[in-house]
Amino acid sequence: MNLTDELQSAIADEVAAMGVGHRELAAAAAALSRRYRGPGPATGPPWSDASIAAYLVTRLPATLGATAAALSAVAAARPRWRPRTLLDVGGGPGTVLWAATRVWESLDRLMVVERNPRMLAVGRRIAQRAPHPALRDATWLASDVTAGHWDQPADLVVAAYVLGELPPATRAPFIERLANSASVLVMVEPGTPDGSGRVLAAREVALAAGGRTVAPCPHDDACPLAAPDWCHFAARVARTRLHRQLKGGQAPYEDEKFSYGAWASDAIACEGMVPGRVLRHPRIDPGRITLTLCTVGGPSTEVVIARDRGSFKAARKVTSGGTWPPTASDR
Ligand SMILES: C[S@@+](CC[C@H](N)C(=O)[O-])C[C@H]1O[C@@H](n2cnc3c(N)ncnc32)[C@H](O)[C@@H]1O
């Protein structure tokens, strides 16, 4: 999912109003990249105008693409579900709101909890440019998500790219609290071994709290992937001209690697348990496509040959994070 024109121009206006010079913006973008892709906790200095501007230009399109992919997998698994309330914890500039309202038009009450007042103010201003009324009317709460002042049940609770910023000792109680207040809880993290490890730890807490997997796992059993492998997917997102200038390279898109988990506490949780999840971009060779899968029976590789025309056509369309085998409508 790429940025809408409204979001893109709202970001451009915010960045212009901050008046941050190009060199400072490029340095802030490089620091953010190290912070979120490197090993260890994604903590850093407090948000400045330069780092917020760099986040809007270089990270928000990627976190939006990743979150939208995770939420779309939830929507595919629960096709009749129409969530109305959304809680976005550690919401930053409200990225999750923009992704979620495009996946579910039904959302009509949105709340963001974000501790940084500057980030929150930027997110609130950007949201005023949204076409979706619920996004314009969202409630923005300046609070620490590990403190207990904002508890609110919601149909959908999302924590995107925030777990890694929390002190390790606070993560399990935080996840348990979210799991207990959500019909569906979604966690998104960078697609690094560390990020995937945090999602796995969250999975244990969410399942122990009574949740059941919605996506991406095909089962609720222990994760069968062993190091050096780790569970991650990729979302392809368009790059703006400023993004290319700040991060270098000419490619018109980038692939954001992400890990995620979604768990439900309500009765329709199992509707979408998939037989197999495609873990990597399929490898395409002449006459054959190789799929790396996580299945109910554990990790596996499936080779689809051109002679099997229906499956071959479906395998050409499937991407990292998709489900396998294809349903009748995928063929
Ligand atoms: C990497 S940003 C992610 C923003 C957004 N969710 C996204 O996906 O683009 C992480 C955000 O979490 C916020 N944050 C970190 N720790 C927090 C805490 N304890 N309470 C509230 N917000 C927190 C940070 O201020 C930052 O805005």
| Among the ranges given (201-205, 227-231, 301-305, 314-318), the one the predictor scored with the smallest mean pLDDT | 227-231
Q: Supply the residue whose CA is at minimum distance from atom 10 of ligand 1.
A: 162
- CA separation for the pair 318, 121 (Å, rounded): 39
> Higher pLDDT residue, 253 or 101?
101
Decide if pLDDT at 128 tops 90: yes
- CA separation for the pair 149, 141 (Å, rounded): 10
Specify the pTM: 0.91
Condensed to tens digits (0 to 9), the pLDDT of residues 12-40 reads: 999 888 887 888 888 888 888 877 666 65
The tokens for 24 are: 């400072």
Q: Where are the domains of the chain?
A: 5-272, 276-330
Q: Specify the pLDDT at position 22.
A: 83
Q: What is the mean pLDDT of residues 293-306?
A: 90
Q: Specify the pLDDT at position 92.
A: 96
State if residue 165 touches ligand 1 by the CB under 6 angstroms criterion: yes
The residue behind tokens 């260890």 is: 40
Condensed to tens digits (0 to 9), the pLDDT of residues 230-287 reads: 899 988 887 777 777 777 777 777 888 999 999 999 877 556 567 888 988 899 999 9
State if residue 145 touches ligand 1 by the CB under 6 angstroms criterion: yes
Decide if pLDDT at 169 tops 60: yes
Residue 107 CA, ligand 1 centroid: distance in Å: 22
> Higher pLDDT residue, 203 or 328?
203
State if residue 157 touches ligand 1 by the CB under 6 angstroms criterion: no
Q: Specify the pLDDT at position 331.
A: 58
Decide if pLDDT at 98 tops 70: yes
Condensed to tens digits (0 to 9), the pLDDT of residues 46-58 reads: 788 889 999 999 8
> Mutation test of ligand 1: which of 34, 56, 86, 115 has the most ligand atoms closer than 8 Å to its C-beta?
115
> Mutation test of ligand 1: which of 7, 56, 161, 165 has the most ligand atoms closer than 8 Å to its C-beta?
165
Nearest to 238 by CA among 105, 97, 60: 60
Distances (CA, A) of 194 to 157, 189, 202, 305: 22, 9, 12, 35
Q: Specify the pLDDT at position 188.
A: 98
* 3-state SS, residue 163: helix
Q: Specify the pLDDT at position 1.
A: 80
Q: Specify the pLDDT at position 26.
A: 86
Please report the atom of ligand 1 found closest to the CA of residue 166: 16
Please report the atom of ligand 1 found closest to the CA of residue 146: 19
| Among the ranges given (68-82, 99-113, 236-250, 252-266), the one the predictor scored with the smallest mean pLDDT | 236-250
> Higher pLDDT residue, 254 or 59?
59
Q: Supply the residue whose CA is at minimum distance from atom 26 of ligand 1.
A: 92
Q: Supply the residue whose CA is at minimum distance from atom 19 of ligand 1.
A: 144
Q: Which CATH superfamily is domain 5-272 in?
A: Vaccinia Virus protein VP39 (3.40.50.150)
Nearest to 1 by CA among 280, 253, 261, 283: 253
Q: Specify the pLDDT at position 270.
A: 58
Q: What is the mean pLDDT of residues 291-302?
A: 89
Residue 15 and residue 37 in contact, taking contact as beta carbons nearer than 8 Å = no
State if residue 71 touches ligand 1 by the CB under 6 angstroms criterion: no
Q: Specify the pLDDT at position 241.
A: 77
